[in-house]
Amino acid sequence: MRELLRRYRYFLWAVVLLLSILLLYSYNLRQKSATTFFERAVLTLAAPFQASLDRAVDAVNAAWQHYLWLVETKQRNIQLEKENRRLRSQLQQVAEVRLQNGRLRELLAFVDVLDRPALPAQVIGEDAGSWARTVTIDKGTRAGLQAGLPVVAAEGVVGRIIKSAPYSSRVLLVTDASSAVAALVQRTRTRGVVRGRGAELSLDYASRDADIQKGDLLVTSGMGGVFPKGLTLGHVVAAERDRFGLFQQVRVLPAADFTHLEEVLVIVGEDR
């Protein structure tokens, strides 16, 4: 027996290690909203780097767009060109500020409609994997955020916070495969569960007989306890019925544009 154990000791060690980690993963699945010490440490350590990297890339991008590409084409009239570049740069900065202003105004208008206290936050990072859909925002427990809080944009629901560190938090987007939001079709009040499918969403458990048409608006039903009722989730792009299925297969296009997510709102309180 001892000889057998000695001969296969590496194999046994590998199996034990793999099983232990599967147990750890399985245990952590039950504690989804709890941020472990390791995760908190990594997020805390990475947040300033992510924010700096974000700013540096913006600065390099701005420098490239505002200055470098102009150099070769405008050799003459250096003084005039300098002035021209400065003004262009200022104009573009003003345009950028105007755009940001517009987005923040939309968010503020949305906060008024929402009638709940909300905290604005900046997206500073995206998911490191290819299958999961999460983003990192620049506010954390120091700003009063915690796991479970809903996150929205002016266009609609973004997701909910799943991990929170002192200065950053991770948000599970509604498009993530593990995300599920109780929803209803605004026109017919048909209930269902909106699940993430990467770039799109699907409406599950919508009864086969329910009247769902292309273009129908889906809103949160408020049943899950996370999202307030009536927030926009997306529009139906296709509804199909199998010959034998109990439910319809409904594809939904999310209202929020996740490819250009910059500012979001974290809903931090109850109805005013």
Partner 1 sequence: MRGFVFYLAIGLLAALAQTSFLPLFFPPGLRPDLLLVLVIYLGLSEHMLRAVLLVLLLGGIQDSFSGTSLGLYIFVYLAVLLQVRLLSEHLNVESPPLLLLLIAGGTLVQDLLLAFCLTIFADVGSVVHILLPSFPLHVFVNLVAAAIGLFFILRIRPLFGFRSGLAGLMYQSKRHGS
* Positions in the binding site for partner 1 (CB under 8 A): 14, 17-18, 21-22, 24-29, 31-32, 36, 38-39, 42-43, 45-46, 49-50, 53-54, 57, 124-134, 136, 162-163, 170, 172, 176-178, 195-198, 202, 259
Contacting residues for 44 by C-beta, under 8 A, at least 6 apart: 165, 166, 167, 168
Tell me the closest approach of the beta carbon of residue 94 to partner 1, in angstroms. 23
Residue 17 half-sphere exposure toward CB, CA atoms < 13 A: 6
Q: What is the full DSSP assignment across 96-126?
A: HHHHHHHHHHHHHHHHHHHTS-EEEEEEEEE
Contacting residues for 166 by C-beta, under 8 A, at least 6 apart: 40, 44, 140, 141, 142
* 176 vs 216 by CB, closer to partner 1: 176
Tell me the closest approach of the beta carbon of residue 59 to partner 1, in angstroms. 13
* 175 vs 232 by CB, closer to partner 1: 175
Specify the DSSP element, H or E, that contains 204.
strand 200-204
Tell me the closest approach of the beta carbon of residue 32 to partner 1, in angstroms. 5
- Distance separating the N- and C-terminal Cα atoms of the chain: 70
Tell me the closest approach of the beta carbon of residue 84 to partner 1, in angstroms. 28
Tell me the closest approach of the beta carbon of residue 192 to partner 1, in angstroms. 14
* 32 vs 142 by CB, closer to partner 1: 32
* 34 vs 97 by CB, closer to partner 1: 34
* 162 vs 219 by CB, closer to partner 1: 162
> In the numeric block, which tokens belong to residue 129?
């994997």
CA distances from 133 to 117, 126, 169, 171, 177 (A): 26, 8, 14, 9, 8
